[in-house]
Amino acid sequence: MKNRNIYIVLLLGVALFCSCKSSKDDEGNSKTEYEKCNEWIAGVMRSDYLWKSNIPADNKLDYTASPETFFYTLLSDKDGKHTSSKNYYYSYIETNKDYTSSKTINDDTNSYGVSFVRYSIVDKSGAAQDYEYDRVMYVLSGSPAQTAGLSRGDWILKVDGSDINIKNADYKKLMSGASRTLTVLHKYSDAHTASITLPASTAVDNDPVFYSSVIDVNGKKVGYLVYNQFASGPHDNYKDHTYDNELITLFNSKFKNVDEFILDLRYNPGGYLSCARLLSRLLVPESSKSELFCKLTDANGDITKYNFKDVDNNSDYPLGGFTSLNLQRLFVIMTGSTASASEATFNGLTPYMNIIKVGLTSEGKNVGSVNYDGDDKYAWDIQPITFYITSAADNDYSAGITPDNQKNELNDEDNPNFLALGDENEYLLKTALNIIGGNAQGNKALKSQNIVGTNNTELIPIGIVNPSKTKGLIKTTD
């Protein structure tokens, strides 16, 4: 592999590459591959990890442990979310796919192409069940899920005739794998289930632009964009700018001369900082293009600043033409799945335009990662958090960014139909369109998400699974 390439990722997670076997080295060297790998991990973490001062002393660490076990012993409680409802780190480790000699249908480059929310089930006595139901949020075009006929709002009750067991993480069976038989309800209130065949997973194009349109609202042209990840090109190749240039073309054609704009980031967990900078440049008023978009502060207190106009002379965008929409306000649709580069985008725009936010409080991931290349020496990828990101306002949004208009699309009482993304009557989009059209209703008290069910059961959302491989905010500097 190349020498140390650095990427920076703003996601809801990226990785460092490290190979670890349990065999001994050549004669005369008593260190195992695990020990050498762990020494490398510790060196990187003590140098660049944002909370490096919290790493235990060497005599408290077990260098003979597996790299995965070892990595997590280095992490700080400040890393990620650790509450009664959330418990996870943002930094992570995974096997280096470059060390895999052959790929299978279970490889993470393949997917069924479906996003779904997981629901735990509580019976009328209050007892939690050991299985879950999963509800489809969206389906990628050309994917096995689309071929199977899955659509937004469908409930998946069983996989291959068996319950989706929570303890066994059976929900992963809906991410990739062989052909499967699904038991489905199109509405939870339906009396009869359907059995559908889900073809084997395959490589699916996950274009960030999931949907785009221009909607007429009382004579106003309203641009609408569902943007599901900050990826520059296919196959997670940050040097491929296919998606970036498609986005530029979209803004220079379909969205040219719109009067209002709605940016739908409800399912966007983040991605490359370079993509967030590009999208923000296309949205910021021309009068503010020379202003600060964001600044990154690393573990040593060093600060890197980015202005909006820095994107203009980037040779990676041969289509050029960075004229923004030049609007004074922007509507953002958001949920708890809106994270990292998504938050950085509209937070960075907030000092320069009126951001009207619709939905639920965002994740609150104001940190990002750097991805180091281990020069083919190691078979693990590690992605430690290495910097904070702030805007010109210097605000801390680690607790999440609160919407101006709180709406919960998972509440079946308010949103019983769960219409397709892009349908003008879809719950969250309709809320934004009503504000633009002057028909907005006042905020009602936000209802719990625990609203789907019958007299015998209640369904409680416990997390979303996306086909995107994006896991955080990533910066590229090479």
Q: What's residue 24's pLDDT?
A: 40
The predicted model gives 228-251 an average pLDDT of 91
Rounded mean pLDDT of the chain? 88
pLDDT at 94 (0 to 100): 83
pLDDT digits 0-9 by tens, 30-59: 889 999 999 999 999 999 999 999 999 999
Helix (H) or strand (E) holding 119: strand 114-123
| Residue matched to tokens 């096997």 | 95
Please give the pLDDT value at position 191.
80
Least confident interval from 1-5, 67-71, 390-394:
1-5
For residue 270, which of 312, 247, 236 has the smallest C-alpha distance?
A: 236
Say what the pLDDT of residue 173 is: 97
CA distance 159 to 169: 12
Q: Which two tokens stand for residue 333?
A: 């649709």
Which whole-number Å values give the CA distances from 160 to 67, 260, 273, 294, in the listed order?
34, 46, 40, 48
Mean pLDDT of 16-29: 47
**Dihedral of the alpha carbons of 304, 306, 312, 314, in degrees to the nearest 10:** 30
Tokens 């190979």 sit on residue: 19
Q: Which residues contact 58 (CB under 8 A, 6 or more apart)?
A: 42
Q: What pLDDT score does 5 carry? A: 45
Say what percent of the chain tops pLDDT 90: 69
Return d(Cα 188, Cα 166) in angstroms, integer: 20
Other CB atoms within 10 Å distance of the CB of residue 320: 13
Sequence-ordered alpha helix ranges (H) in 210-333: 242-252, 273-283
477 contacts 8 by C-beta, under 8 angstroms: yes
CB 83 within 8 A of CB 398: no
State which CATH number among 3.90.226.10, 3.10.580.10, 3.65.10.10, 3.90.930.12 fits the domain covering 209-442: 3.90.226.10
pLDDT (0 to 100) of residue 413: 87
Per-residue confidence (pLDDT) for residue 390, from 0 to 100: 96
The pair of three-digit structure tokens given for residue 183, joined into one six-digit string: 């038991």
C-alpha distances in angstroms, 426 versus 78, 403, 407, 414, 447?
37, 18, 12, 11, 18
Looking from the CA of 174 toward its CB, the CA atoms found within 13 Å total 32
pLDDT, residue 470, reads 64
Q: 396 vs 263, 302, 358, 439, 440, CA distance in Å?
A: 22, 18, 20, 33, 30
Given strand 209-217, what is the order of strands in its sheet?
A: 209-217, 220-227, 260-264, 329-334, 354-359, 405-406
Residue 2 scores a pLDDT above 70: no
Kindly tell me if the per-residue pLDDT of 445 is higher than 70.
Answer: no
- Angle 442-445-450 from CA coordinates, rounded to 5°: 135
Per CATH, the homologous superfamily of domain 114-202 is PDZ domain (2.30.42.10)
Of 289 and 16, more confident: 289
C-alpha 219/C-alpha 222 separation (Å) is: 9
- Give the mean model confidence (pLDDT) for residues 161-178: 97
Window from 15-29, 41-55, 62-76, 236-250 with minimum mean pLDDT? 15-29
Spatial neighbors of 18 by CB under 8 A, at least 6 apart, are: 37, 40, 41, 67, 96, 374, 377, 378, 379, 380, 381, 382
The H or E element containing residue 285 is none
Q: 383 has which bridge partners?
A: 92
- pLDDT tops 50 at residue 14: no
Supply the pLDDT for residue 80. 96
Question: Within 10 Å of residue 391's Cβ, how many Cβ atoms?
Answer: 22
The predicted pLDDT at position 380 comes to 87
Lowest mean pLDDT among 265-279, 322-336, 357-371, 457-471: 457-471
Give DSSP secondary structure letters for 354-371: EEEEEES------EEEEE
* Selected residue with higher pLDDT from 147 and 31: 147
- The more confidently predicted of residues 13 and 53 is 53
| Contact by Cβ (8 Å): 74, 42 | yes
Neighbour count for residue 444 (Cβ, 10 Å): 9
For residue 316, pLDDT over 80 is answered with no
Looking at per-residue confidence, does 170 or 444 come out higher? Answer: 170
For the chain, give the percent of residues with pLDDT over 70: 85
Instruction: Give the global pTM.
Output: 0.91
More confident residue, 307 or 469: 307
Cα–Cα distance for residue pair 219/143, rounded to 1 Å: 37
Per-domain boundaries in the chain: 11-99, 114-202, 209-442
